[in-house]
Structure 1
Amino acid sequence: MNNSTLTSFAAATPPVQATLITTDAAGLQAGEIQIPAGDRDIPAYWAAPEGNGPHPVILVVQEIFGVHEHIKDVVRRFAKLGYLAIAPDLYVRQGDVSGLESIDEIRKIVFTVPDQQVMADLDASLDWAQQHGGDVSRAGVTGFCWGGRITWLYAAHQPKLKAGVAWYGKLVGDSTSLMPQHPVQLASRLKAPVLGLYGGQDQGIPLETVEQMRAALAQAGDSSSLHVYPDAPHAFYADYRPSYRKEAAEDGWRRMLDWFRQHGV
């Protein structure tokens, strides 16, 4: 198995040490696993408190840069709070982005990943959790950047979910055979409420699209919610990148945990 996407930071985003948060694995079960997922096993990183559980489950959906050290650290952060958390490698069939040094090279791989494949792999991850001490009656999903969009999609796909939290995920876009629908088109089909956390200075997700999503949710009568940090850029939670904004990141983390607890995760 090629585990390079699971063992370091992405080459395209070397870490900024001054803000980097590191969470140890003391008191946890943690490591790389293989998840049976239809046509093949897929690599993933997981962590949970020591002991048999059952533990509530959080699926952590990667940034565009893959399952690298920051995403693994987020998994451990959840485990320290009592969750069984899993971050599956959702690009593994299409390629390894960890060694790529430009966002354009990464996009060439990411844009070939079918939404349908991602939904199936997340379903397989939920099944794995159920078989390894996870309580899937208390399951949530969260994702960042590319994974933020996927969070919305998975909340419209998986009826077992209790809640989702999408960090600066794209909301609108052109329909393609691989990405037939976007979150704004799924507002009336969400099976679990989603909290969306967005930056007012995000150059890739215009505020008008956030307001478009807010209107679609209101029209659908959905209980999901959107929160915008006016001064925050894209990737404001990514403590290993210059985009990190400590105040917004910490507030977003608190809001996320409150959202999950409020909805039984």
Structure 2
Amino acid sequence: MKQLTKEDINQEVFDLYDDYAHSKITRKEFLEKLSLYAVGAITLPALLSFISPNYTDFIVVNENDPRLNSGYISYDSPKGGGTIKGLLSMPKDAKAKLPGIIVVHENRGLNPYIEDVGRRAAIEGFISLAPDALTPLGGYPGNDDDGRAMQSKRNQQEMLEDFIAAFEYLKKHPNCNGKIGVVGFCFGGWISNMMAVKLPELKAAVPYYGRQAAAEDAKNIKSPLLLHYADLDKRVNEGWPAYEKVLKENNVAYEAHFYPNVNHGFHNNTTPRFDKAAADLSWERTIEFFNTYLKN
């Protein structure tokens, strides 16, 4: 059987997956519509397998990487979900206290990709904390479909409080110097924008293809922003002009990058929406941004 590549797949399939991943259509509707693109040698099971995440073969920094101390912790989130589990990672050879990064997951809980991103941040000389907002419901269930369904049952404002509590936990950690930023993806991009709204002491925020804060909230942002957008992501991008207007009017320091011909989720290397060139460049910019605002 022919191995599928991105070139075999219509853009409409990626758009359809985006609708499903963001709960705009049900799984039944998704499969019915997806079946229309299963033609010739491309079967529905093959198509579904291709566009689904592969967490087995694409981990960048292994959970047992000898350069890191990485393990699960729990912290209190009094206004959010009670007690929240998170993956805390830091370099083993650190000689001094480190700046911190909160890593915020997509709309499906703390899956292996986001844990990997947390470890990638630690490799770069930070102490990272990647919380699981699904903790009150039992935690990430082991697959993204169930994770999305679980996360839809939680209140978004309560989850925001969970990540604000993660900031407070990391700020007080004995290995953290108190300078903290946030990076988040999709839902986590919105959380990153909102943490910048809610936390004037946040030193840097990096939302990846995240929904923007409302104008009445955005005017309160004090921390510098580095915003990554996918050129083909019309759903999220439509909110950018109004957001940029407020940022400019309130003298918020920001950089915004639109990566050409890539889809929402382009940083996630476990799915075919991944674009290596855009992912690598955006991550280089992210680390440079954190180095500038957290290490100086």
Distance 1:100 1:251 in 2: 28
Distance 2:240 2:211 in 1: 9
Deviations 1:108-142 (A, max 9, x none): 54344334323332233223322241111x21000
What is the CA-CA distance between 1:222 and the residue it aligns to? Answer: 1.4
Amino acid at match of 2:235: G
Deviations 1:242-263 (A, max 9, x none): 1000011011011111222222
Indicate how the Cα distance of structure 1 residues 233 and 69 shifts in structure 2: closer, same or farther if over 3 A, else same. Answer: same
Of 58, 70, 83 in structure 2, the residue corresponding to residue 30 of structure 1 is 70
User: Are 2:98 and 1:55 equivalent residues in the alignment?
Assistant: yes
User: Are 2:190 and 1:149 equivalent residues in the alignment?
Assistant: yes
Residue of structure 1 equivalent to 2:115: 72
Are 1:95 and 1:109, in contact at CA under 8 Å, matched by a contact in 2? no
Consecutive unaligned residues in structure 2, runs of 5 or more: 1-48
Identity of aligned residues (%): 27
Residue of structure 2 equivalent to 1:214: 244
Indicate how the Cα distance of structure 1 residues 97 and 264 shifts in structure 2: closer, same or farther if over 3 A, else same. Answer: closer
CA RMSD of aligned residues (A): 2.4
Structure with the bigger RCO (C-alpha within 8 Å, sep 6+) is 1
Amino acid at match of 1:14: P
Of 40, 53, 58 in structure 2, the residue corresponding to residue 14 of structure 1 is 53
Deviations 1:150-189 (A, max 9, x none): 0000011112210100000012xxxxxxxxxx34442211
The TM-score normalised by the length of structure 2 is 0.73
Aligned pair count reads: 240
Indicate how the Cα distance of structure 1 residues 194 and 36 shifts in structure 2: closer, same or farther if over 3 A, else same. Answer: same
Q: Which has the higher helix share?
A: 2
User: Are 2:263 and 1:227 equivalent residues in the alignment?
Assistant: no
The TM-score normalised by the length of structure 1 is 0.81
Distance 1:64 1:95 in 2: 15
Residue of structure 1 equivalent to 2:276: 246
Distance 1:33 1:246 in 2: 31
User: Are 2:116 and 1:87 equivalent residues in the alignment?
Assistant: no
SS at match of 1:36: strand
SS at match of 2:219: helix
Distance 2:55 2:91 in 1: 29
Consecutive unaligned residues in structure 1, runs of 5 or more: 1-10, 172-181
Are 1:214 and 1:226, in contact at CA under 8 Å, matched by a contact in 2? no
